[in-house]
Structure 1
């Protein structure tokens, strides 16, 4: 009878060790949950950036004013009938 109790005690201890240490343990599950939360936060940031880029692409495809404005600001282009003035601060 004592041998049976000893075997059961050893099994219980082994099951507890597996529960608290190693792969599949509570600590491992908490670590994985932290990684999931970090990845979700990064995904939200990237989704927001993608929405901004999609909006810019839609604007460039459907609006001639957006293309003209971008050409004026980024490339410094002007129309034929316009005069360009460069104001220099002292």
Structure 2
């Protein structure tokens, strides 16, 4: 009878090993859930960035003033009838 109990305990322990350590274990599932959460956060950040870029592209396509403003800010362009002043701080 004692050997039967010993065999049952060993079988239960062997079944528990896979639950805690093996493939599909609690630890692996937890790590995958963490990975999914991180990926969702990154996707949300990228979606927000894409929305900002799309709004900027729409603005540049629809308004000529936006293209002119961009050229002035990024390229330092000025019109023919304008005077450029450079202010240097000490």
TM-score, structure 2 as length reference: 0.85
Please tell me the root mean square deviation across aligned C-alpha atoms, in Å: 1.8
Tell me how far 1:8 sits from its aligned partner: 3.7
Look up the match of 2:71.
71
Look up the match of 1:53.
53
Q: For residues 9 and 70 of structure 1, what CA distance do their matches in structure 2 show?
A: 74
TM-score, structure 1 as length reference: 0.85
Look up the match of 1:40.
40
* Residue-pair matches, total: 90
**Structure 2, unpaired ranges of 5+:** none
**Structure 1, unpaired ranges of 5+:** none
Tell me how far 1:15 sits from its aligned partner: 1.1
